[in-house]
Amino acid sequence: MERTEVLRKLIDNSNMSVKAFASKADLPYSTLRSILERGVGNASVDNVIKICKALGITLEQLDDMSEKEDICINETSEFNSPEAAMQFILKQPALAAYGGYEPEKMSDDEIIEFANELLRQLKLLGYKYSK
């Protein structure tokens, strides 16, 4: 997944509009919108750092999330890394729609715990409705 796509999904999951998030990151709205449309590679390092700080992640974590291959639920029974856990969380559209969690305020351990609990709940639903 591209870095820009990771940022887009994290911002979407923050339950803030892009405009509100730009304010939180201390960036002009037009600058953030431009970064999300044109890509992180064209942005200044300072602006990317501001975005990452507002999301509660490091540049290294952003890089790790973008380098990870797509996680397949069938290939894992538990998450051990915050990057894989966050990627799994970001792929759940219902979470983005209903929110109620703030990944930027969660520790790595909480992100892993959250993703593993989501995975357990999905498996339980699968068992319940399998015929």
Query: Is 104's pLDDT higher than 60?
Result: yes
Q: What predicted TM-score, i.e. pTM, was given to this entire model?
A: 0.58
Q: What percent of the chain has pLDDT over 70?
A: 88
126: pLDDT strictly greater than 70: yes
Residue 109: is its pLDDT beyond 80? Answer: yes
- pLDDT at position 17 over 60: yes
Local structure of residue 68 (DSSP, 8 states): S
Give tens-digit pLDDT for 39-66: 999 899 999 999 999 988 888 888 888 8
Lowest mean pLDDT among 13-27, 44-58, 97-111: 97-111
The contacts of residue 26 (CB under 8 Å, 6+ apart) are: 50, 54
Task: Check whether 111 has a pLDDT greater than 60.
Answer: yes
Q: Percent helix, strand and coil across the chain, each rounded to 5?
A: 70, 0, 30
Interaxial angle between packed helices 108-129 and 82-90, expressed in degrees from 0 to 180 and rounded to the nearest 10: 50
Hunting for tokens 């449309």 — which residue is that?
Answer: 37
In the structure encoding, which two tokens stand for residue 118, read together? 């989501």
Residues of 71-87 as b/e, b for ≥16 C-beta within 10 angstroms?
Answer: beeeeeeebeebbbbbb
Ramachandran angles phi, psi of 69, nearest 5°: -70, 160
